[in-house]
Amino acid sequence: MEPLKIMLCAGEVSGDMYGAALIAGLRKRFPDRELDVRGMGGDAMRAAGAELLYHTDALGAMGIVEVLGKLRFFRKVMRDMAALAESWRPDMLVTIDYYSFNVALAERVHALGIRTVQYISPKIWVWRRNRIYRMAKAFDRVLCIFPFEPALYEPAGLAAEYVGHPLVEQAEATRAETPPELPWGDGTRIAILPGSRSGEILSILPTFLDAARRVEQTRREPCTFLLPAPTKRMRAVVEEVLAREKRPSSLTVVDGQARHVMAQAQAALIASGTATLEACLMDCPAVLAYRVSVFTEILARLIVRGGLRFAGLVNIILDRPAMTELLQRRFTVHSTAAALLPYLRDTPKRRRMLADYAACRERLGSGATERAVEAIARLLEA
């Protein structure tokens, strides 16, 4: 039989993880066919056998201003990815999250008569709900990770189905593994996750380090910190920051293993993003922080009319402030240290967050990758 050709496009570390799981799932679903996967992604997709034109390390941009600064580069990526689709003629394009780039790519690929699927719906329930009409022209199907999302696409006539959140099964797999021996020192264990993009790390890590030092100085008991770098390239960025900033006395950088780090930590400092939901799934109380340029903040406020109540996924799912959010000017050394301290011992605040985590996990489905693979298979076989 002819190889099954899938063009897979992920622009961020989280999407790379989901893409690798899709590749494994598709191999299991089509055991008698060779699977040829090409596109863009990261280390996980490459390890799963994908041939990458672009790596997520080069694709990350953390705000509107930052994206505009890399516009020429993104135009080149778009041209190259569209050219790949035209010359290679894959059986399907599957785009993962990373909406703004992926919808434009899907438009070009769909025009070639190639089937297109968006895995992980953009947050149309937060802003720009009219995007559904553009998406209906670009995608044959949207796979949603929250149960309330499919109904939002009905006005555009776009087929959308709920598959569940892929992080749930990844967290379950992590919990089932034998816990690795991580290089913790003596004392209370604290995880530091300053983001997966260079801009995030450069902006957020210095404040996290200062806050960690303040926590260390405030407590009588010793503290030990681990920072899981998402990729080798981002580890170099972390090391660059550590070389010029003061750090807590016991801090070690490890490669990957973020979920294992959070599972073993008493609490965490985390940049807003997928890692905040991972903290919930690993039962690690966390403080969420984020900072972008002032211009990006102003543009975001203009675009998100009516305001966005929460930034963190746990808070969005529960529709209440379960996880402390320190954004922009609220993200200071003092506020970060003060928010973290109650999670380092058995306090009502810590117990309340763990109860909220349990409620959040109840609302998320399991087995997302299997359902996503089955939805893709149905479309391929139609």
pLDDT cut 70: percent of the chain above it: 93
Is residue 137 a contact partner of residue 159, using CB atoms and an 8 Å limit? no
User: What pLDDT is recorded for position 119?
Assistant: 97
Token reading at 206: 């210095």
Mean pLDDT calculated for residue range 102-123: 96
Residue ranges of the chain that CATH labels 3.40.50.2000: 4-164+367-381, 188-363
Q: Read off the pTM.
A: 0.76
Written as one letter, the residue type at 50 is A
Give the model confidence (pLDDT) of 155-169 as tens digits: 999 999 999 999 999
At 217, list the tokens: 């100085």
| The CATH fold of domain 188-363 | Rossmann fold (3.40.50)
Give me the DSSP letters along 191-254. Answer: EEE--SSHHHHHHHHHHHHHHHHHHHHH-SS-EEEEEEESSHHHHHHHHHHHHHS---SSEEEE
**Residue 54 — very low, low, confident or very high, per pLDDT cuts 50/70/90?**
very high
- Tens of pLDDT, residue by residue over 277-314, are 999 999 999 999 988 766 665 566 655 555 567 778 89
Tokens read off for 358: 């349990």
Q: Which of 328, 344, 341, 336 is nearest to 210 (CA)?
A: 336
pLDDT, residue 72, reads 87
The predicted model gives 348-375 an average pLDDT of 93
Q: How many other β-carbons are positioned within 10 Å of the β-carbon of residue 154? A: 11
Sign of CA dihedral 232, 233, 236, 242: negative
Say which residues have a Cβ less than 8 Å from residue 100's Cβ, sequence separation at least 6. Answer: 67
pLDDT band, very low/low/confident/very high, at 263 (cuts 50, 70, 90): very high
Residue-wise pLDDT for 213-236, tens only, equals 999 999 989 999 999 999 899 999
124: exposed, middle or buried (Cβ count in 10 Å: 0-12, 13-18, 19+): middle
4-164+367-381 topology per CATH: Rossmann fold (3.40.50)
Sort strands 115-119 and 141-144 into parallel, antiparallel or unpaired. parallel
The per-residue pLDDT of the chain, averaged, comes to: 91
Q: How far apart are CA 301 and CA 237, in angstroms?
A: 29
Q: Sheet holding 223-229: strands in order across?
A: 251-255, 223-229, 188-193, 267-271, 286-290, 324-327
